[in-house]
Amino acid sequence: MTVAVLLLLGLGLLEAEGRCFFNRTTEHCACYNLTQESVHSIVQCLAASVVEFRGGELERYIAFPISDLDPSTIEMLGSLIIRKIIFGDFLVPEILLARVLRFFSYTQVEELVFESCIFKGRGNWDEMADQHLPIVSLRFHNVTSAPLAGREQDFSSLSSWLETLQELAVTGSHVTSLPCGIGRVFRALRSLDVAQNSLGDESLMPAFCKGAFPQLQVLSLRRNNLTSYHSVCESVQLLRELQQLDLSQNKLLADASSSCQWPVSLRIFNLSDAGLDEVLTPLPPSLEVLDVSRNHLRAVDISLSSLKKLFLSQNLLRAAPSLRNYPLLDTLHLDNNSITELPWDELELLGHLRDVAAAGNPYNCSCSGAGGLQALAGTGYLGQGWPQGYTCHSPPRYQGRLVKDVPVSVLQCNSAAVIAPVCIALALLGVAGAVCLLRSRPGLTRPCRRL
Ligand SMILES: *[C@@H]1O[C@H](CO)[C@@H](O)[C@H](O)[C@H]1NC(C)=O
Ligand SMILES: *[C@@H]1O[C@H](CO)[C@@H](O)[C@H](O)[C@H]1NC(C)=O
Ligand SMILES: *[C@@H]1O[C@H](CO)[C@@H](O)[C@H](O)[C@H]1NC(C)=O
Ligand SMILES: *[C@@H]1O[C@H](CO)[C@@H](O)[C@H](O)[C@H]1NC(C)=O
Ligand SMILES: *[C@@H]1O[C@H](CO)[C@@H](O)[C@H](O)[C@H]1NC(C)=O
Ligand SMILES: *[C@@H]1O[C@H](CO)[C@@H](O)[C@H](O)[C@H]1NC(C)=O
């Protein structure tokens, strides 16, 4: 078992009191501040699929003799079911990491996560040359390390592994640039998440230079320091496989009309909370999901023939967009706008729409307004906000009441609809009466009763 401990890379042998807790339901084992005395409690983690280590400092293990493993140890490592290892709140000497990383080649660990860690110094990664690791997903969140620039040699030593990596996340870590050469190493990477960093417009062009991230499908640039829609478009133009792009929580400006074309593969585009006063153009032509919620949009007059989901919550819209511009739309979210009426009181007007959310709008509860919403609610397509989130702002007598509670019976609402039939009935009666009178006059053959 001491070997298992070593697997977990000897990294657990720490000073303060601590132990491991295994949750059988989630197969998650969490170890806090392990000590030499409590390290045996790591044994219970051997049945876990996720193991988490929190707290400690590894600097004094730099000199720890880490030799090659004997065959029985290798076999034991191969039999572990651990798929994911998380290191949190650690000071990690890079030199130690460089020495132990290769042991992962004997395991089935697919996902490695470092949270709130400080990587110290520079390691020597030469030993990793030609090493293949089973790890396909690598995540760093809130970490600090020596700058990435100028470390092309390290990345090239790690390339046998990195060029098979599928997911990489480096979030909340003050990243200001991604050198071109780094992207070229990640030949199989499908998802790159660099949210919550300090990437600026000018740092994107080199990051996605020719040959960088050739298989990338999912890119998150959420909450960075981007301002130019146009230059983001220019920068990602070479990502031919890109399907999802998240630019939310940047402060994008509408630059002079741009002729840049987004990759045609782009299907999901997130421009939520991007400071937009208008929907920027051009948009990727084959979009299926567009999130422009939490902006300052007053109108949306775009047309996207393949769009399926449109998120417009938290804007300043005064009217719902015309569904004719989105023939395939199945989801439309309009919460917290200034919309007074939804115009879809008949099923055929809805087209493919099956999920509508429109709470928090100042509804006009005139008969047609309230009736339309009630009819829409009747279809079951209104989201969870119904009925509590739907209140009337006008007319005054209904202000503050739930739309659901407004009476919209034919009698109360559509006087024309009630009066017209009554008039017609009366008129017919009149005619019938007149005919009767005529027929009952002497000389006519049949009595009126037979009519
Ligand atoms: C295991 O995790 C589940 C889900 O997080 C939680 O509901 C449960 O209380 C945990 N069990 C123990 C023994 O901590
Ligand atoms: C980020 O990591 C540092 C240690 O490097 C830690 O002190 C800080 O609390 C972490 N911040 C968050 C938000 O987790
Ligand atoms: C964001 O970009 C602006 C100009 O592009 C720059 O002045 C500012 O320092 C940047 N902020 C950060 C946190 O990098
Ligand atoms: C867009 O990004 C925001 C975070 O900025 C997130 O809450 C939202 O769910 C994303 N939208 C979609 C459609 O994924
Ligand atoms: C709408 O606004 C309310 C109140 O500010 C908020 O609680 C709710 O989360 C918002 N809904 C959406 C979908 O943004
Ligand atoms: C509410 O709708 C009715 C009927 O369509 C209209 O006459 C009235 O002006 C509207 N009121 C407001 C405040 O928009």
Question: Residues 425, 354: one domain?
Answer: no
Query: Is the model's pLDDT at 299 over the cut of 90?
Result: yes
Tally the C-alpha atoms within 13 A of residue 438's C-alpha that lie toward its C-beta. Answer: 7
pLDDT of the residue at 38: 67
Q: Give tens-digit pLDDT for 197-235.
A: 999 999 999 999 999 999 999 999 999 999 999 999 999
Q: Give tens-digit pLDDT for 333-363.
A: 999 999 999 988 777 788 899 999 999 999 9
Query: Is the model's pLDDT at 14 over the cut of 50?
Result: no
Q: Is the beta carbon of 269 within 6 A of some atom in ligand 4? A: no
* The last residue of a domain, from among 119, 146, 173: 146
Average pLDDT over residues 269-295: 95
Query: Is the model's pLDDT at 285 over the cut of 80?
Result: yes
Q: Write the CB contacts of 283 (distance below 8 Å, at least 6 apart in sequence).
A: 262, 269, 290, 302, 304
Question: Residues 12, 135: one domain?
Answer: yes
Confidence class for position 270, pLDDT limits 50, 70, 90: very high
Side chain identity at residue 272, one-letter code: S
CA distance 253 to 231: 11
- For the entire predicted model, the pTM comes to 0.86
Nearest CA to ligand 5 atom 1: 336
Position 305 in a domain: no
Position 309 in a domain: no
Nearest CA to ligand 3 atom 10: 225
Question: Residues 27, 64: one domain?
Answer: yes
- Which phi-psi region, left, alpha or beta, contains residue 314 (left: φ > 0; alpha: ψ -120 to 50)? left
144 CA closest ligand 2 atom index: 5
Ligand 5 surroundings by CB, under 6 angstroms: 313-314, 335-336, 360
| Residue 45: C-alpha distances to residues 28, 53, 141, 318, 422 (Å) | 8, 11, 24, 56, 80
Highest mean pLDDT among 49-53, 306-310, 407-411, 431-435: 306-310
CA distance 252 to 273: 9
Q: Give tens-digit pLDDT for 84-143.
A: 999 999 888 888 888 788 888 889 999 999 999 999 888 888 888 888 899 999 999 999
205, 225, 250: residue to mutate for ligand 3 pocket, most atoms within 8 A of CB? 225
Nearest CA to ligand 2 atom 4: 116
Query: Is the model's pLDDT at 399 over the cut of 60?
Result: yes
Nearest CA to ligand 5 atom 2: 336
Query: Is the model's pLDDT at 16 over the cut of 60?
Result: no
> Do 127 and 161 touch, CB atoms closer than 8 A?
no
Give the chain's domain count. 4
393 CA closest ligand 6 atom index: 13
